[in-house]
């Protein structure tokens, strides 16, 4: 048996308490996943060939074969096309397309299943959750669903594997232009795995989920895993690529012709998640029975929202998004080009334990560690964490070359809390923020929001001419601003103060290096100095051996929770054992690899 990885394990380690219940629900599908994906399941109960002309074909029509097949049968389709709608019953089946003729042992292409712009093409049903389906080598297109999916409708607590399946040019008048996953009359969650370059392309949903709509109604969440393939150029009102409600969605897809890219929506161009959904991008994990893409970032790129959340839109107190070794790039929106998180949703962006950033700028080599880069907001902010206790943690991530619009107040990052509401908070650790172009300030906090900037490097960003500071607090109606803590960091932006506030100043700047210290707040064990980067002009923010950042800090009240930006251990003294930690995102341990941004 092939090793089965469990991507839901990364979900259970996330930021918010709401993840625990999702983890327990996902544990219950582990055995189903191993049975579904194992190569040791035995052969089919029978093999039926479908094609014209009589023997050796067993049936002329796919409908006839579906009705006649025994449970556990394998149906083999010649090229077709075969016109739907097709509906399965309560029995497990394997459907394999791409045979040039009946009786041929090996498929050589895809079989075309069409809806003729009149119906959902294929519906897989399991009222009691007992059925499993495997679909291989199919082209599902030209479907139209009134209340169901356009291409493939999956209902009930059902197990489904798609291998080398292309679903395109299908429309739903409601949810799921390409695929819709929904409950039937039970509360079991479906398990759907997309493998072997399965693709959802150019599908449209009037409401939710142009490519995929995963709609949970309570009970065990549906689990949908994009292992190897892409969701591209789909369109919807919410969730151009993916819409998830009370659903777990994991994408491992990255590298050439993979990922969630170029989708369009009013909100959530790439992904829209609500209702306690657990969404993850994981660029480190190997795939299900395939090599996967452990050396390529999971990709969320080129998506657009006319309103909010170009890359991902998150809402709801138990909704979470976690990106591990992800590339969130070139997404666009009016507000929140990369990440838009509101109403208590949680965000985590980080790198895996074994990845190395040295390949990032190599030609033809996608970044293996997390990047938020090249996103464009027409009006406000690249990243928003706002409202009712929304939380974010971004670590060991490079945030660069993002751009906000021409509005008078359009920061790179915004943390917002309503007056009298639950505080929102964002933690940045081991982050490099450079070469972003914003209209006014880099990071702003509103009211009683909370910000921590730990062991990070901020340098060479372009700010609008009227910017009062890099980090700005705006206070409304006498709200008391929460703390902004800077510890073990480098802030290098000559000509601008580090922090400012419209009301009481509540900044704490400890054991850090800045261009100057002439700003209000509590400042201690810090200096104004040039950090002496190795080559900032070439985006190399490692510090030189002579930098004042070397051995600058003790562990203090905020010890590093992560290695440095290269995955190297922090706190190894080179000159002073009493203060062994280097300020900034780089621990200057190994100058042999000092050019790793470039090689």
**To 10 degrees, the CA torsion angle through 9, 11, 17, 21?**
-70
User: Quick one: average pLDDT of 457-474?
Assistant: 87
Report the C-alpha gap between 168 and 145 in whole angstroms.
13
Report the C-alpha gap between 586 and 51 in whole angstroms.
63
Global model pTM greater than 0.85: yes
Report the C-alpha gap between 66 and 93 in whole angstroms.
9
Q: Summarize pLDDT for 175-195 with one digit per residue, the tens.
A: 999 999 998 666 678 999 999
User: pLDDT at position 464, please?
Assistant: 83
User: Quick one: average pLDDT of 93-106?
Assistant: 96
N- to C-terminal Cα separation, the chain = 39
Report the C-alpha gap between 441 and 408 in whole angstroms.
10
Report the C-alpha gap between 505 and 507 in whole angstroms.
6
Secondary structure string (H, E, C) spanning 552-572:
CECCCCCCCCCCCCCCCCCCC
User: pLDDT at position 187, please?
Assistant: 65
- Range of weakest confidence among 163-172, 469-478, 517-526: 469-478
Per-residue exposure over 26-45, b if at least 16 CB sit within 10 Å of its own CB, e if not? beebeebbeebbeeeeeebe
User: Quick one: average pLDDT of 71-75?
Assistant: 95
What percent of the chain stands above pLDDT 70?
85
User: pLDDT at position 250, please?
Assistant: 92
Q: How confident is the model at residue 354 (pLDDT cuts 50, 70, 90)?
A: low
Task: Residue 220: name the closest of 355, 53, 25, 60 by CA.
Answer: 25
The sign one gets for the Cα dihedral 13, 16, 21, 26 is negative
Lookup: tokens for 138: 């199919």
DSSP 231-287: EES-EEEE-SSEEEESEEEEE---STT-EEES-EEEE-SSEEEETT-EEEEESSS--
Q: How confident is the model at residue 23 (pLDDT cuts 50, 70, 90)?
A: very low
Report the C-alpha gap between 381 and 414 in whole angstroms.
6
With beta carbons less than 8 A apart as the criterion, state whether 247 and 222 touch. yes
User: pLDDT at position 557, please?
Assistant: 84
Segment holding 450, helix H or strand E: strand 450-454
Q: Summarize pLDDT for 443-454 with one digit per residue, the tens.
A: 998 888 899 999
Q: Summarize pLDDT for 414-443 with one digit per residue, the tens.
A: 998 877 778 899 999 999 999 999 988 899
């Amino acid at each position: 048996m092939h090793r089965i990885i469990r991507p839901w394990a990364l979900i259970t380690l996330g930021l918010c308490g709401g993840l625990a219940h999702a983890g327990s629900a996902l544990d219950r599908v582990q055995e189903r996943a191993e049975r579904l994906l194992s190569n040791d399941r035995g052969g089919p109960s029978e093999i039926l060939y479908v094609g014209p002309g009589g023997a050796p074909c067993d049936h002329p029509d796919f409908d006839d074969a579906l009705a006649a097949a025994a449970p556990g049968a394998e149906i083999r389709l010649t090229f077709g096309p075969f016109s739907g709608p097709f509906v399965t019953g309560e029995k497990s089946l394997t459907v394999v397309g791409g045979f040039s003729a009946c009786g041929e042992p090996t498929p050589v292409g895809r079989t075309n299943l069409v809806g003729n712009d009149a119906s959902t093409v294929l519906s897989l049903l399991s009222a009691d959750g007992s059925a499993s389906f495997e679909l291989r080598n199919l082209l599902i297109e030209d479907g139209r669903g009134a209340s169901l999916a356009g291409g493939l409708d999956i209902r009930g607590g059902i197990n489904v594997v798609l291998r080398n399946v292309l679903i395109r040019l299908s429309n739903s008048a409601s949810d799921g232009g390409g695929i819709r996953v929904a409950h039937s009359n039970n509360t079991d969650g479906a398990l759907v795995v997309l493998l072997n370059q399965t693709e959802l392309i150019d599908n449209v949903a009037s409401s939710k989920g142009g490519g995929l709509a995963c709609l949970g109604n309570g009970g065990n969440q549906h689990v949908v895993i994009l292992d190897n393939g892409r969701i591209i150029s789909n369109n919807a009102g919410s969730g151009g690529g993916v819409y998830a409600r009370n659903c777990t969605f994991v994408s491992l897809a990255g590298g050439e012709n993979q990922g969630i890219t170029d989708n369009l929506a009013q909100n959530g161009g790439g992904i829209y998640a609500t209702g306690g959904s657990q969404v993850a991008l994981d660029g480190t994990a190997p795939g299900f029975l395939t090599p996967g893409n452990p050396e390529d970032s999971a990709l969320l790129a080129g998506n657009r929202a006319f309103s909010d959340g170009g890359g991902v839109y998150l809402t709801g107190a138990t909704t979470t998004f976690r990106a591990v070794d992800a590339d969130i790039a070139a997404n666009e929106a009016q507000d929140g080009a990369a990440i838009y998180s509101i109403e208590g949703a949680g965000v985590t962006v980080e790198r895996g334990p074994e990845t190395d950033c040295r390949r990032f700028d190599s030609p033809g080599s996608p970044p293996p560690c997390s990047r938020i880069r090249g996103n464009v907001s027409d009006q406000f902010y690249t990243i928003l964490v706002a409202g009712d206790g929304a939380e974010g943690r971004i670590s060991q991530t490079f945030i660069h070359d993002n751009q906000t619009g021409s509005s008078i107040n359009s920061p790179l990052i915004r943390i917002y809390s309503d007056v009298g509401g639950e505080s929102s908070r964002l933690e940045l650790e081991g982050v490099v923020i450079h070469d972003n172009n914003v209209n006014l300030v880099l990071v702003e906090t509103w009211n009683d929001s909370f910000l921590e900037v730990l062991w990070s490097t901020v340098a060479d960003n372009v700010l609008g001419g009227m910017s009062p500071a890099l980090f700005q607090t705006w206070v409304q109606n006498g709200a008391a601003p929460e703390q902004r803590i800077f510890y073990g960091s480098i802030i290098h932006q000559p000509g601008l103060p580090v922090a400012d506030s419209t009301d009481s100043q509540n900044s704490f700047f400890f054991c850090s290096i800045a261009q100057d210290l002439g700003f209000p707040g509590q400042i201690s064990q810090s200096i104004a100095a040039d950090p002496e980067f190795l080559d900032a002009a070439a985006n190399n923010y490692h510090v030189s051996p002579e930098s004042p950042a070397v051995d600058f800090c003790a562990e203090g009240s905020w010890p590093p929770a992560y290695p440095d930006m290269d995955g190297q251990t922090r706190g190894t003294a080179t000159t002073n054992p009493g203060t062994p930690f280097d300020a900034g995102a780089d621990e200057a341990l190994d100058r042999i690899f000092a050019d790793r941004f470039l090689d």
